Chains A and B, each alone.
Chain A
Amino acid sequence: MAKILAYIESKENKFKNSAFETISEAKRLSGILGCDFASLVISNQSADELKVLGDYGPEEIFHLNLDEMNSIKGGNIKYSYSAIAKAVSEFAKQNGFTIILFSGTGFGKALSPAVSILTDSALISDITGINVNDGIISATKPVYAGKAFAEIKVNSANVVLSLRPNVFKAEKTDSNNAKVTDITSASLNLSANDFSAVVTEVVLSQGKIDVAEADKIVSGGRGLKGPDNFHLIEELASVIGAATGTSRAVVDAGWRPHSEQVGQTGKTVSPGLYIACGISGAIQHLAGMSSSKCIVAINKDKDAPIFQVADYGIIGDLFEVLPVLKEEFKKVL
């Protein structure tokens, strides 16, 4: 009998939207398979803080206290991926979970391969859909940087899936019957040896939305002409609450950091809105953003390939368009 576990990521004791997407998908899948599902969180949150997860459907929320877990190793550590992978795997095995869902965030993508080995599961990562045919699970996965989609069938009793953020729907349910159950690391047979690599420090750039997680992105390319003009991109982004992205040509020129690069050798994004300004739409750039729900292109070259994937666009000089566009957005927001 199948049984689904949603591993819920809690960063700095907060849930991201991708966590709710993962729970909602676990709930949907459990409905189709007619099986149970639960969620597992490893964090320092209180039962009340955890109960918000119940808004999305799980009745059973299992919680392992992160500080208690880290005390096995001792010293100054934030967390250890290997120890968390071991904890999730042990918990799944002890409780008969056969399907484990992760959010396909950096965290989820680091944990899921390890968990797939420890639970003897098939692994399909960064998926955009889950299908069930005659009880057999398959997943849709973008391949070749989104230039194609593979439908991949699971040939194993157990499976680990990581879900691309911003693709699955987070859906609230009518009632919250969540029950929080604490588990201990002793019950999961954790030992200091499981902490083979440890995170000693996390450095976050304050107040910026990361492109990989943003629901709206304003990207600027080489058409911006130089690093000093990116205030045009930043201002528009701040008006509509978007993250800023860029092309590789700009990163290679040293105008913007690599963390903002969208594309085949940068980040793959699927926001609700992607505004590309002065970006030609090279195949490697399109690969990273063509699954965005709504694409807007601003480019002075009417033949720029970016217009072929654009839902909306303006042919024009971005130095003239962007200041006006910002004001127009301000009027309605």
Chain B
Amino acid sequence: MKIAVCVSLVPDSTTKVKIGSSGKSIDENGVTFILNPYDEYAVEEAVQLKEKSGAETYAISFGSDRSKEAIKKAYQMGIEKGILIKANSDDYDSYTVAKNLADALNELKPDLIFFGKQSIDFDGMAIPGMVATLLNLPFVNVVTKLDVNRNEVTAEREIEGGKEIIVSALPAIIGAQKGLNNPRYPNLKSIMASKSKPIEEKNSTYSGNKTEVISMNLPPAKGKGKILENGAESAAELVKLLRDEAKII
């Protein structure tokens, strides 16, 4: 079995966002980049499958040289091989990423492809479904439980107020959600070993964005709220404010 995990590098969730000088992206000065948290569940699932029944495992990322960090983290968690598809520029939209990943995956022909359900930068939840459709493969996103059989998978997909049970043929694309497993913390040995592991580099095969960010802005600043200071004695006043002023109750 061959398993591929598509990984991306994103700003750490504690990042205080500032807008960069272009006015179209964030200021990356001082920002720490990490493996997308949802990708950790994807990587962990692939590694567990490898440990259980043996598999060739790949981490694939599209982006600049910096994205190697995402692949390295996947190595630390137990992935064996890595491929970086080098972006021609920093300006790429989800369509361009999906096209490049689809081309690489089409060459690799894995039996199972994992993604994190979304990346925490643009939160699009777009790329797994796009790649699946480009490759004409079945796809289940927001998966919290997965059973892989010989040529079929059964997945639990989280939906509003419940879950769906989905049966899919293989090869398939699975988008991992928190709850799927508990991602391991890499130990020192695997961290050291990952340092010297090579990463295969490929050239980008597509660059024709369908969308363009024309500006990026911080959310409008909030006015000062009305904070009442008398504990339980303020409850009646709060209800009155919500009713008469905010008109929400």
A197 to B166, Cβ gap below 8 A? yes
Residues of B at under 8 Å CB distance from A? Answer: 11, 13-17, 19, 26, 37-38, 93-95, 98, 120-130, 132-134, 137-142, 157-169, 172, 178-179, 209-219, 222, 225-232, 234-236, 238-239, 241-243, 246, 248-249
B17 to A125, Cβ gap below 8 A? no
B120 to A320, Cβ gap below 8 A? no
Pick the contact of B239 from A151, A268, A332 — CB < 8 Å? A332
A149 to B11, Cβ gap below 8 A? no
A213 to B238, Cβ gap below 8 A? no
Which stretch from A23-31, A91-99, A113-121 is at the chain B interface? A113-121
Pick the contact of B214 from A78, A106, A151 — CB < 8 Å? A151
> In the bound complex, what is the Cα–Cα distance between A264 and B122 (angstroms)?
12
Task: Give the Cβ gap from A29 to chain B, nearest Cβ, in Å.
Answer: 17
> In the bound complex, what is the Cα–Cα distance between A28 and B133 (angstroms)?
31
A307 to B217, Cβ gap below 8 A? no
Pick the contact of B161 from A85, A196, A205 — CB < 8 Å? A205
Main SS of chain A's interface residues? mixed
> In the bound complex, what is the Cα–Cα distance between A213 and B164 (angstroms)?
17
A149 to B235, Cβ gap below 8 A? no
- Nearest residue, chain B, Cβ from A143: B122
Apart from A106-B159, A117-B134, list 4 A-B contacts with CB within 8 A.
A106-B158, A123-B130, A197-B172, A203-B164
Main SS of chain B's interface residues? mixed
> Contact size class for A?
35 or more
A183 at the B interface (CB under 8 A): no
Task: Give the Cβ gap from A253 to chain B, nearest Cβ, in Å.
Answer: 14
| Interface residues in A270-325 (C-beta closer than 8 Å to B) | 272-273, 283-284, 287, 290-291, 293-297, 302, 307-317, 320-321, 323-325
Residues in A neighbouring B16, C-beta threshold 8 A: 147, 283
> In the bound complex, what is the Cα–Cα distance between A196 and B246 (angstroms)?
49
Residues in B neighbouring A47, C-beta threshold 8 A: none
Pick the contact of A201 from B19, B164, B222 — CB < 8 Å? B164
Pick the contact of B211 from A124, A149, A313 — CB < 8 Å? A124
Pick the contact of B212 from A113, A152, A272 — CB < 8 Å? A152
A122 to B95, Cβ gap below 8 A? yes
Pick the contact of A203 from B13, B162, B218 — CB < 8 Å? B162
